[in-house]
Each structure stands twice: as structure tokens, then as C-alpha cells.
A = this chain, B = another copy of it.
Amino acid sequence: MNGLMQQRQLLLSSLIEHAATHHGDREIVSHLVDGSMHRSNWRQVRERAKRLANALGALGVGAGERVATLAWNTHRHLELYFGVSGRGAVLHTVNPRLFPEQIVYIVNHAESGFVFFDTSFAELVATIAPQCPQVKGFVAMCRRDQLPAIDLPGLLCYEDLLAEASPDYAWPTFDENRASSLCYTSGTTGHPKGVLYSHRSTVLHSFTACASDGLALSARDSVLLVVPLFHVNAWGVPYAAAMCGAKLVLPGASLSGENIYRLLKEEGCNFSLGVPTVWLGLFDYIERHEHSLDLSQIRLERVVVGGSAAPRAIIEKFEQRFGAFLIHAWGMSETSPLGTIGTLLDKHRELPVAQRIDLQLKQGRAIYGVELEIFDADGRPLPHDGKAFGELKVRGPWVAAAYFRGEDGSPLDADGWFATGDVATIDGDGYMQITDRSKDVIKSGGEWISSIDLENVALGHPALKETAVIGVAHSRWQERPLLIAVRKPGANTSTAEVLAFMEGKVAKWWLPDDVVFVDALPHTATGKLQKLALREQFKGYQLPTDRT
């Protein structure tokens, strides 16, 4: 027997309708790529999103067709969020920082029919256009007088398209499971894979962004959205902001410490979200202008950090400088991305600051809608005691079930769990802490050793500048840890001394079987340690413990 409630579909158009109807005057402020400031509001975003929807119709964009963007955080990109998905097409946000050949692959794999781009990417677009034969048109997100001087057949002008289109448009209604947007993972191995979100998954995810124990987004928030609109739906904030009528401040291309500071101050932002790098830039700016800045003009209350872990110093600085609370969030493209969120519990009200920050350093705690579980090597669930660590798997209505065009087959196991590729602990309150990547953890005689834990302990040695631990094949134990270390300039130490230093700080059987000193470790363009390259380099390395 079914309930007798209304069968209203959860569509993204309902979000912009709510915002425009009840929060029409609430501002959307953009720092445009030409350096100017632009002020809009939710009513105007709806009007222009409707013009865009009509313009897309005139261009022949059909239901389900992908429309790509190469763009910064501006009001126009926000209009695309609602105009494209609202009419039933699929918004495909492309990361313009990828290599051109990756962008070509992604645009072609997605079969995006149109590409909307900020003029700062004109050269990039001119480069990729000849290699993207399925693209029917490139739309420069500017006025006619700002059109870039590039040789591109069929170049269109965003503002002309909108000016020529009617603002009268009735959003279509359709099944909430229809695709709404598409983001590609920046896979470290192999080709990028597309995650295809639905209207349903996105609206449900927005509820969590608005939850008190989520990002707690509300109509009282003025949000500086530093995380790019091309980065996993900007963590869902554009949709959630419409759901609750928050003010959005979009910083465009300039993520300098100075610009962030200015926007926080001038737009009264109390909430912001971004990766750690951006905050390092902000504090660097503040420290360099210590005497000329009045931090009491900043009303920052909450900051969400994701992408990679925020160091303790950043948490402390937000607290000391602004009285702002840092919330760690963890997720991935495949989780829309909100997976865990580091809000506190009732019992933490009286916690001493240092212990509270220990908690804040974890990746966050379980939220309703994302089931979290850790499994041992045999697929058995492990206890939630904050100590046992195992492969982290997730399940829920905003977790991916497959990749676009079936790449890599089904990523789910028989029970519907998606393997995150992380190794983690979960404690009794649902706080999750990543201890390693699945592919980096060292499998020694059926037990797991965390490479990250060993690296951190070794890094405590005063002579070491950087450390990496990888598993090396071992005839008896299957794998044993090898520590690869870079010494500080002028410093000296030995294998024996480093191992002696580590003794007692980790379980005895965790101690590396050898230490190798190198001049430098390999890193990716974004500064991440390339363990894959290290494993290649040390393939077949003869451990001293394995010379029988």
C-alpha cells in the first residue's frame, strides 16, 4: 500500500524557483574575469537562467545533451547551473586547469554539444576546438564588445544569446532520476571517469548541505564560494544556497589572499569553503600586512575545508584570527561530494581547545544519507572503535552507482558498497579518519600497516625533510615497508639511527625493513607525492630481511 502524498519530483528547477520567489533580493556578487564587480540576485539569476534555457532550445540542445563549461565562479556560471539542468540538459563542468589533452578527452568522451567558456580561457579553447569535432558551438561568457580575438568558426556571445531570448519559460517537469550534471574525476591512473549526478541525488545532497549537522547553510549566511564551480558541483553549495536563500559571493579567477580578504570584508561573508592552499594564501597576506589590517571587520564564523586535510596550524589560525570554526569535510566526485562532515557533538561542548582541535583534524563524522563502513582484507566489517582500520566503503542516494558510459564496469560490490580507495578508522560517534590510500597500505602477512602513519613518525626525526613509505615484495610476509627519505640540507643520519628513532613509536612489526636516502621524491603538478612512481622505481628492491 502506497502513501497518499503528492508525487512532486525533486528537480533543480524547484531550487531556483524557491530562491527567486522568497529570496529574490538576496544578492549574488561576482568578481568577473575582467576585474570588475557584478551585483545580481536570485530573481535575476532565475530570469537569466530562463533566458538561457530558451537560448539553448533555439540552439537545438535536447534533453540529456551535455553542455560543457570552462569557467570561473561568476554569476554567469551560476546561471548555467540552473538554466542547463533546469531545462533537462546536463551541465558538464570541466576543470580548466587540466592539461589540454585531458580536456579534449573529457569533452569528447562526454560528447558535449556546446562549450561555454570564460574569456580568460580563449587560447585554451582555440587549442582544443579543432580536436573536438562534436562541439557545435563555443559560447564566450561575456558581452559582444568583450569577445576574444580568436579564430573560431561559430563563436557565440553569451550576453547576445540571453538578450535575444525570452525570459518567459516554464521549467519542464520530468522524472527526478534524470541526469542533471556531469563531473569527471581527475584519476591519477588511467583516463578521467565521468560521474553523472541526477536531479534527485543533487536535491537530497542539498538538504544535507543545509542541515545543522551538515554545512548548516541558511538564509542568514553570506557565503564566499572559493571552491570552484568546476570542482564537484562546488561541493553542492550553489544548489544548497538556492534551497535556503543564502547570499553568494563568487571570486572569479582571483583567489589571491588579498582578494579573498577584500571579499570577506566588503561582502560581510560569515561562511567560506575551499582547499587548504587558499587559506595559506589568506594568512600569508594577513601576516604580511599585519599592521594595516583590522580583522575585526571580518565576520567569518565557519570555514569548510576539503580536498586535502587542513593542518592544525590553519585550524588554530582561523580560531585565533577570526574566532571562526573550521569544519573538515571529506568526500569525492563519486559522493557528490559530501561524505563526512566535522561538526561537533553535545558532549564536546566543554572540551578543552586542544582536544577539540584533535577532533577537528579528523575527516568529519557520518551524516545521514551516506552509510560508512570499514572492511578488513577478507571483506568483514571492522569495529567502530577509532583504532581498527580498513577499506572505507560508502553507500547512499548521492553516491555513484556507475561511471558515465559504463567505464570500468560496476564500481559496486554485491552489497551495493562503493569502495572509496581510502583506508580509514571510524569511532563510536561516527568520526572517520583516513589512515592511508588502499593502494598504499602495506599488506604484511595478512595485516595492514599504514604508510602514512610510518611517514609521519619518521618525519619527526630532526634530520629528515620528507618521507615516503611503500610496500616492497617480501617472500615470507608478502609485503614489508620500505622507508624512502630525503635529508634536510646539511643534516646527516643513518638507516640504523632512523629505525632506532622510530622504535617504540609504532608497533614493532610495523618498523620498516629498510631505509633508503634519496635527493628528492617525485610529486604531481599539484604537489601530491607520486607513490606509483616510487613503487616503479623500487620494484624488485632487495630488502635486507629477505635474503634467505
List chain A positions with a Cβ less than 8 A from chain B.
1-8, 10, 14-15, 18, 21-26, 63-64, 90, 175, 177-180, 195-201, 204, 207-208, 210-213, 216-222, 243-245, 247, 336, 343-346, 349, 365-366, 368, 371, 384, 395-404, 412, 416, 418, 428-430
Task: Choose from B22, B178, B245, B403 the contact partner of A1 (Cβ within 8 Å).
Answer: B178
CA distance A222 to B90 in the complex (A): 43
Nearest CB on B from A180, distance (A):
7
**B416–A177 CB distance below 8 A:** no
> For residue A395, which residues in chain B have a CB less than 8 angstroms away from its CB?
6, 8
> For residue A213, which residues in chain B have a CB less than 8 angstroms away from its CB?
210, 218-219, 244-245
**A5–B220 CB distance below 8 A:** no
**A178–B210 CB distance below 8 A:** no
**B3–A201 CB distance below 8 A:** yes
**B210–A396 CB distance below 8 A:** no
**B404–A4 CB distance below 8 A:** yes
**A5–B346 CB distance below 8 A:** no
Identical chains bound together, number: 2
CA distance A422 to B430 in the complex (A): 44
> For residue A343, which residues in chain B have a CB less than 8 angstroms away from its CB?
218-219
CA distance A378 to B186 in the complex (A): 56
**B400–A197 CB distance below 8 A:** no
**B5–A399 CB distance below 8 A:** yes
**A244–B197 CB distance below 8 A:** no
**B400–A2 CB distance below 8 A:** no
Nearest CB on B from A167, distance (A):
18
What are 26 pairs between A and B in contact, CB < 8 Å? A1-B64, A1-B196, A2-B177, A3-B198, A4-B179, A4-B401, A4-B403, A5-B397, A6-B395, A8-B395, A8-B416, A18-B366, A21-B430, A22-B366, A22-B429, A26-B346, A211-B211, A211-B212, A211-B218, A212-B217, A212-B220, A213-B219, A219-B343, A220-B349, A244-B368, A245-B345
CA distance A399 to B22 in the complex (A): 19
**A6–B368 CB distance below 8 A:** no
> For residue A14, which residues in chain B have a CB less than 8 angstroms away from its CB?
368
**A346–B220 CB distance below 8 A:** yes
**A3–B211 CB distance below 8 A:** no
**B365–A198 CB distance below 8 A:** no
Task: Choose from B18, B244, B346, B428 the contact partner of A219 (Cβ within 8 Å).
Answer: B346
Task: Choose from B3, B21, B201 the contact partner of A199 (Cβ within 8 Å).
Answer: B3
> For residue A180, which residues in chain B have a CB less than 8 angstroms away from its CB?
3
**A198–B401 CB distance below 8 A:** no
CA distance A247 to B397 in the complex (A): 26
**B22–A397 CB distance below 8 A:** no
> For residue A8, which residues in chain B have a CB less than 8 angstroms away from its CB?
395-397, 399, 416
> For residue A416, which residues in chain B have a CB less than 8 angstroms away from its CB?
6, 8
Nearest CB on B from A249, distance (A):
13
> For residue A26, which residues in chain B have a CB less than 8 angstroms away from its CB?
346
CA distance A429 to B399 in the complex (A): 34
> For residue A197, which residues in chain B have a CB less than 8 angstroms away from its CB?
3, 5
CA distance A1 to B65 in the complex (A): 9
**A220–B345 CB distance below 8 A:** yes
On whether A24 and B428 interact (CB within 8 A), knowing A3-B178, A4-B403, A8-B397, the answer reads: yes
CA distance A244 to B247 in the complex (A): 26
**B1–A195 CB distance below 8 A:** no
Nearest CB on B from A534, distance (A):
34
CA distance A398 to B10 in the complex (A): 12
Q: Which residue of B lies closest to A244 (CB)?
A: B213
CA distance A436 to B196 in the complex (A): 48
> For residue A3, which residues in chain B have a CB less than 8 angstroms away from its CB?
177-180, 196-201
> For residue A366, which residues in chain B have a CB less than 8 angstroms away from its CB?
18, 21-22
**A207–B211 CB distance below 8 A:** yes
**B4–A195 CB distance below 8 A:** yes
Nearest CB on B from A246, distance (A):
8
Q: Which of A5, A197, A384 has the most CB of B within 10 A?
A: A5
**A196–B401 CB distance below 8 A:** no
Closest 5 CB pairs of A and B: A3-B198, A22-B430, A1-B64, A212-B218, A207-B207
Q: Which of A6, A220, A344, A400 has the most CB of B within 10 A?
A: A6
Q: Which residue of B lies closest to A208 (CB)?
A: B207
**A399–B6 CB distance below 8 A:** yes
Task: Choose from B24, B196, B344, B365 the contact partner of A4 (Cβ within 8 Å).
Answer: B196
**B5–A398 CB distance below 8 A:** yes
Nearest CB on B from A216, distance (A):
5
**B211–A5 CB distance below 8 A:** no
CA distance A430 to B219 in the complex (A): 12
